[in-house]
Amino acid sequence: MGCLRSWVAPLIWGLTALMIGVVLWLSPQYTEALWAPGHLSRYHTDVTSCGSCHEPFQGPTPQKCLSCHSSADFAARSEPGVTRFHAGIIQKGRPCLTCHVEHRGVMAAITTGALNNPHGEFIFRVTSATSCSDCHMLTLVDGEKRMILLSNSRVSHIIEEGEGTHRLGHFARCLNCHRGGQLDIDDNEYGDN
């Protein structure tokens, strides 16, 4: 049961070929606009080529991640617990995408799953921290991996800046009072602080 008009099939094939040609012609010039599912996180804003992270027709691979994030890199830039954690993952050959995601925007969480950030990425903008290990240390507590709060100048500054509002045990609920970086007095249980 074909089309009764002889010109319809060639028109459809011609339009299809034209669309494929336009996409192929524009792809090298406008790769991100045509193919990227979203903006990169603040950690990868310096990446300028899709090929830095993606293998053609495979997507991101652990080998591509390790070209920038080697075991030596973790040892030089991370706390010992974070270094050991990632060394085990690298040794087992587990995919980085098990815990990390990308293309969700500058303020989106890049870590999901095993080490989820209960604060949201908002905490990094507010505190100028660059990683969880600026305020926490990964350690074993009763045989379970936990992030404990450090006693350092950054944590002390957050507590002092909040005049008691930002006290231990309340950091994960910062969006109860803050909306997009603005203090919402009506929702603030501490009144005019």
Residues 53 and 98 in one domain: yes
User: How many CB atoms lie under 10 A from the CB of residue 48?
Assistant: 8
Out of 106, 137, 162, a domain closes at 106
Residue 135 lies in a domain: yes
Domain that holds residue 85: 39-106
pLDDT at residue number 188: 32
Out of 80, 106, 132, a domain closes at 106
Pick the residue with more confidence: 153 or 159?
Answer: 153
Residue 175 clears pLDDT 60, i.e. is over it: no
Residues 138 and 83 in one domain: no
Residue 141 lies in a domain: yes
Residue 193 lies in a domain: yes
pLDDT at residue number 177: 61
Residue 124 lies in a domain: yes
Residues 86 and 150 in one domain: no
Residues 183 and 141 in one domain: yes
Residues 135 and 97 in one domain: no
pLDDT at residue number 17: 96
Out of 53, 79, 106, a domain closes at 106
Residues 101 and 139 in one domain: no
pLDDT by residue (tens digit) across 126-150?
777 777 778 887 777 787 777 777 8
pLDDT at residue number 14: 95
Give me the DSSP letters along 126-162: HH--SSGGGTEEEEEETTEEEEEEP-SHHHHHHHHHT
Residues 90 and 131 in one domain: no
Residues 125 and 182 in one domain: yes
What's the domain count of the chain? Answer: 2
Residues 122 and 168 in one domain: yes
pLDDT by residue (tens digit) across 64-107?
888 888 888 888 888 787 888 888 888 888 888 888 888 877 76
Residues 125 and 99 in one domain: no
